[in-house]
């Protein structure tokens, strides 16, 4: 799984690609947490457009980062979840905490 991190002002955009399971979860968690130590990073955007699979290990990373962002009084968003991934997000209830958007441009409008 590929990960691309991009900082725009105080928002870290995390673009993931591939299957987000236990094999990838730990590595991705570490990379994001490293960036979250930077005071400048307050908001997170998970771009899941190119994620074809997610299970509870992947979801655990997303939920865990939500808690960290809230500690920093920041916001978190999820964009581009494909139907198969969106179904899992909804079943987990994460969508009640983290707003889901179609793409990164939609968030910029908010």
The β-bridge relationship of strands 2-8 and 11-20 is antiparallel
Neighbours of 31 (CB within 10 A): 13
The C-alpha angle with vertex 12 and arms to 16 and 73, in degrees rounded to 5, equals: 125
| Window 51-90: residues binding other proteins (CB under 8 A) | 53, 55-57, 59-60, 63-64, 84, 88
Number of residues that bind other proteins (CB under 8 A): 16
Task: Tell me if 85 sits within 8 A of 48, measured CB to CB.
Answer: yes
| Window 8-47: residues binding other proteins (CB under 8 A) | 19, 21-23
For other proteins, which is the closer residue by CB, 33 or 38? 33
Query: Residue 10: which region, alpha, beta or left (left: phi > 0; alpha: psi -120 to 50)?
Result: alpha
Min CB(108)–other proteins separation in Å: 30
For other proteins, which is the closer residue by CB, 88 or 100? 88
Nearest of 63, 17, 7 to residue 39 by alpha carbon: 7
For other proteins, which is the closer residue by CB, 75 or 92? 92
Question: Interface residues with other proteins (CB under 8 A)?
Answer: 19, 21-23, 53, 55-57, 59-60, 63-64, 84, 88, 91-92
């Amino acid at each position: 799984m590929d990960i691309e991190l991009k900082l725009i002002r105080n928002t870290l955009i995390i673009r993931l690609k591939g299957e987000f399971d236990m094999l990838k979860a730990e590595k991705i968690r570490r990379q994001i947490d490293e960036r979250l130590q930077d005071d400048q990073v307050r908001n997170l955007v998970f771009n899941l457009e190119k994620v074809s699979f997610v299970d509870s290990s992947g979801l655990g990373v997303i939920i865990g980062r939500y808690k960290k962002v809230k500690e920093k009084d920041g916001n978190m968003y999820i964009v581009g979840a494909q139907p198969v991934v969106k179904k899992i997000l909804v079943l987990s209830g994460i969508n009640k905490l983290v707003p889901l958007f179609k793409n990164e441009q939609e968030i910029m409008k908010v």
